[in-house]
Amino acid sequence: MKKIVLGLSFLVTLISFSQKNQIQVLSNPVTIGKSLIDSSTYKGIEYVFPEEIYKIFLDTTTGFLTAQLRGVSKNGKWLNSTGQIVQYDINNQKVLWTKKIAYQTSNLKLFSKTMIFTVSNKSYCLDINTGNELWEVKNNIYLVSPIDNIGFGYNLKGLKVNSNEFEGIDLNNGQVLWKRELNGEYGWNDVFYTNDSTLVVAAAGLHSLDTKTGKGWDYNTITGKKDYTETVVKNVVGVGLGLLTGTGFISSGNNLVRDVVSNKIVDSSNIYMASKEQLVKIDKLTGATIWKFPFSKDLASKSSIFINDSQIFMINKGMAFMGNKALNFGKPFFAAFDKQTGENKFLTIINIEDNPILSYKVLNGEVFLVYKNRIEKYSMVTGELITGKEFPEELYGELKHFIGNQVFIKNENGDLVSLPQTDTSKIYVFTSQNKSLTIDSELNISKTTEYDDVNIYYLKTKDLKFFAKDNKALVINNDGQQIAEIEVTLNAFIIGDTLYDTKDNRFIAVNLMDLVTNQ
């Protein structure tokens, strides 16, 4: 299977010529943590830039670090509108080139060794060694197939004109290989491959594209609405935006209601998806509709679907998005359908006004739903409400989402164990007061865990596991032994045997083999 490479977006408004090395990057050894076995210290290397690092991209094959620098206002409240892009050679500790940028309407995207700089209605491919322009095209390239070396994006008609003319671009020379009409009015919700050469874009439906020719089937459906006014849902947490703006997915205009769609389920032959119009099962190869279940007007909204045995279940959340603001939209409901025929087994409307579903959990043949101040439990057989309970905000804060197995606590022996695995008969909910509530099947709170007592499992190698807490990481080996504590943030990532992190204006590299060999 091919992988889709999504670009890191840098907002810019003009192209400046590559500059000489006017910026200095200092490299220094730095103490990054300590061993919990013999109290020795671990060292790393920090690369210090003159301003705060806003975005970063590292290509370990070339050793090039592309850093976007962006300072803050004198009062520390606002990011500056201008900054610098710095291309730095880590291996030779040398600044290769810089560009001044202003953060407004354009983008710099990086796809492995391909650098795309979009300004006004054109995209420029930049030489990663010099920053010079290699070619230009009237297109905003959003994603890349690295094996075919083809970029994909919309032809840009102008800053105020939306275009549905989608193109495949030869990244060797910027030539347009093919064109295809693809509705991007409400943005993109997902993009994935169904085989080595077929890309499927979820945008106002589903659209398959042969990466070399642009040909394929279309399933069109409504996933948004124009000119909509409704109550804004405040402080929504635990509900993904669906659109991943700034990472390669296309965002829609702020005046449109979007994300009136579910996740996609893809099996060996079919694709399942719900929209504002209907739940549908589509043949993955031909795009033919196998079955569909239509929804009444103003019912469906952002939703989640999942398969359990022979049925497909749908949780309609009663919300959508306008820009980045959550809105009350449609009506919350819980429904089940036969996976093979689409026959509706039940559809239970949830009569809770202006209170969307934030999260759900399946446990022992029942579905638990979380709202900002309430939890409900429904039967997966009948769809009926089994029980519900209010959780006063003044006592617990707003409820946010169910807790996954990545949240760990220490047991009586001091060992880290997954909180949900301490008692699998219970559910675990996170609140705005940074509390984790342990709740039994009758929706009674049996335990409250404070945020200071939890660790987040977020990184691993074949030898080590990393648990984050307060900008530090506890490192544990495969035997469960706590071997080190290092000062890294949740921004840290691992490539090969090296851990990397960004802190303010510093980029830090740590050789993980030092931790492995010192056990």
Beta carbons within 10 angstroms of residue 227's beta carbon: 7
pLDDT band of residue 260 (cuts 50, 70, 90) is very high
Which of 292, 304, 358, 319 lies closest to 225, judged by CA? Answer: 319
Residue 53 backbone class (left: φ over 0; alpha: ψ -120 to 50; beta: rest)? beta
More confident of the two residues 255 and 429: 429
State how far the Cα of 506 lies from the Cα of 489, in Å rounded to an integer.
Answer: 12
Read off the pLDDT of each residue in 365-374 and give the average, rounded to a whole number. Answer: 96
State residue 74's pLDDT score.
80
β-sheet bridge partners, residue 337:
312, 344
CA–CA distance, 501 with 491 (Å, rounded to integer): 6
- Residue 471: per-residue pLDDT: 85
The burial of 91, by beta-carbon neighbours within 10 Å (0-12 exposed, 13-18 middle, 19 or more buried), is given as: exposed
State both tokens at 147: 């094996």
Confidence of residue 227 (pLDDT cuts 50, 70, 90): low
The Cα–Cα gap between 81 and 97 comes to 21
pLDDT at position 462, please? 93
Query: What's the confidence (pLDDT) of residue 4?
Result: 44
Mean pLDDT of 215-227: 91
Q: What is the pLDDT of residue 113?
A: 83
In angstroms, how far is the first alpha carbon of the chain from the final one?
38
In DSSP notation, 236-287 reads --S---SS-BTTTBPPPPTTEEE--B---EE-SSEEEEEBSSEEEEEETTT-
* Higher pLDDT among residues 407 and 322, named by residue: 407
Return the higher-pLDDT residue of 516 and 503: 503
> Distance between CA atoms of 431 and 284, rounded to whole angstroms?
40
Band of the pLDDT at 161, cuts 50, 70, 90?
very low
Tally Cβ neighbours within 10 Å of residue 43.
12
pLDDT higher for 79 or 217?
217
**pTM listed for this prediction:** 0.87
pLDDT over 90 at 45, yes or no: yes
Is residue 272 within 8 Å of residue 281, measured between CB atoms? Answer: yes
For residues 319 and 259, what is the distance between their CA atoms, to the nearest angstrom? Answer: 9
Structure tokens that stand for 251 in this block: 């965002």
Identity of residue 177: L
- Rounded Cα–Cα distance for residues 221 and 398 (Å): 34
Give the mean pLDDT of 352-365: 94
pLDDT of residue 37: 92
* 472-506 confidence digits (pLDDT tens): 999 999 999 999 999 999 999 999 999 999 999 99
The rounded mean pLDDT for the chain is 88
Asked whether the predicted pLDDT for residue 244 surpasses 60, the reply is no
At 253, the pLDDT band (50, 70, 90 cuts) reads low
The pLDDT assigned to 468 comes to: 94
To which residue do tokens 């802190």 refer? 503
pLDDT confidence bin for 408, thresholds 50/70/90: very high
Say if residue 452's pLDDT is above 80. yes
Say how many residues make up the chain.
519
**Is pLDDT of 238 > 50?**
no
Q: Check residue 173 and give its pLDDT.
A: 95
Q: What is the per-residue pLDDT for 400?
A: 96
Mean pLDDT over residues 194-209, rounded? 93
pLDDT band of 175, cuts 50, 70, 90:
very high
Phi, psi (rounded to 5 degrees) for 269: -125, -20
Q: What is the mean pLDDT of residues 285-299?
A: 96
Q: What is the mean pLDDT of residues 182-204?
A: 91
pLDDT attached to residue 121: 78
Asked if residues 100 and 114 have their Cβ atoms less than 8 Å apart, the reply is no
Buried b (16+ CB within 10 A) or exposed e, 326-362: bbbbbbbbbbbbebeebeeebbbebebeebbbbbbbe
User: DSSP for 311-372?
Assistant: EEEEEE-SEEEETTEEEE-S--EEEEEETTT--EEEEEE---TT----EEEEETTEEEEE-S
Lowest model confidence (mean pLDDT) among 231-245, 272-286, 296-310, 418-432:
231-245
Please report where in the chains the tokens 């648990």 appear, as a residue: 467
- Calculate mean pLDDT across residues 199-224: 95
Edge to edge, the sheet with strand 319-322 lists 225-226, 256-258, 319-322, 325-328, 232-233
Least confident interval from 1-15, 101-115, 174-188: 1-15
What's the rounded Cα separation, in Å, for the pair 164 and 153? 10
Strand pairing report for 139-145 and 150-155: antiparallel
